[in-house]
Amino acid sequence: MKRYKYSKEAKIGAAFIIAIIALYFGINFLKGRTTLSDQHTYYVVYNNISGLSPSASINNNGFRVGYVNEIHYDYANPNLIAVELSINKALQIPVGSKAYLMSELLGGVSIDLRLNHAKTFYADGDTIEAGIAHGLMGQVEEEMLPQITSLLPKVDSLIASLNAIANNPDISRSLANVASLSIKLDNTADELNKLFHNELPNLMKNLQGTGENLHSITSQLNTIDYASTMAHVDSTIINLQTLSALLMNDDSSVGRLINDTAFYNNLNSICTNANALIEDVKKHPSRYINISVFGKKN
């Protein structure tokens, strides 16, 4: 049997072809594509694909059933974008099913295939009805963006108010006053510490000495004969009451002297006559004083 010898160049060429074929299959495998005849081709026409790209996943109930093969843009009619779908031929797609564009959380776009319950099915190469569903990001854009847009003027107003407050000179003065007050409080705390450590012990000693003196005074007060003192006080009060009774009694000499109006009137009359006599003596002294000069008599 004759052996054929291959040249070195032929071996390198064969290895190169095998590498290209492996690379092709490897890239298709990583993209989720297959070159085998286990795929059916369908078409979907969208007005806007929202960033859909080839090799995007096609899911049904969360399970990957195919991928986007190609996207055909009709330059004559820009509103129609045909998307070629490669779906596992084991999946029969009922008529009336829809292919929805779904926005993923990380920004990607996929196709969610929602099957109908009809008993007739699309054939290979048919066009499936298109639909656009709002995924999680779509719901965020639809529900939250209007609210965020309505909040922006309020946020701007709030920021303007905060800037006005921050630029207000009264705030700076208030902060300076707060800083000054803090320094004063620190000084007061230092003074209180000095008071507690220096003055308060001396004050407690003085209070203790005062307490001892009060105790001594209390002991001396305990030695006083309060019964005898109160007896003398009672006796003095009785004497005062007796004197008061005598003064108020018209029958007593003192009472008559104090309470007799005639005696008071007589004294008043005597004083009046005495004053009149003194005045008359001052005016007419010759009536009462006789002075003889050389023995002559008037």
Model pLDDT for residues 71-92, shown as the tens digit of each residue: 998 888 888 899 999 999 899 9
Query: Is 218 a member of any domain?
Result: no
Instruction: Assess if residue 16 is contained within a domain.
Output: no
More confident: 65 or 50: 65
CA–CA distance, 220 with 156 (Å, rounded to integer) = 84
* pLDDT digits 0-9 by tens, 188-239: 888 888 777 777 777 777 787 787 788 878 877 777 777 777 888 888 888 8
- Please give the residue range of the domain that contains residue 275: 227-288
236 lies in some domain? yes
Distance from CA of residue 141 to its chain's centroid? Answer: 32
In a domain, 155, yes or no: no
Q: Is 261 a domain residue?
A: yes
C-alpha distances in angstroms, 188 versus 162, 183, 195, 200, 202? 34, 9, 10, 16, 20
- Last residue within a domain, chosen from 133, 160, 187: 133
Domain end marker among 104, 133, 162 = 133
Q: Is 141 inside any structural domain?
A: no
Q: 7-32 pLDDT, tens per residue?
A: 777 778 778 888 888 786 666 656 55
Q: How far apart, in whole angstroms, are the C-alpha atoms of residue 198 and residue 192? A: 10
Number of structural domains found in the chain: 2
Boundary (domain end) residue, out of 107, 133, 159: 133
Whole-structure pTM value: 0.40
Residue in 90, 46, 96 with CA at minimum distance from that of residue 68: 46
Q: Which amino acid is at 172?
A: S
- Residue 180 included in any domain: no
Contacts 24+ apart (CB under 8 A), 62-67: 64/32, 65/91, 65/113, 66/39, 66/91, 66/113, 67/31, 67/32, 67/33
Residue 187 in domain: no
Please, which residues have CB within 8 angstroms of residue 25's CB and are 6 or more apart in sequence?
35
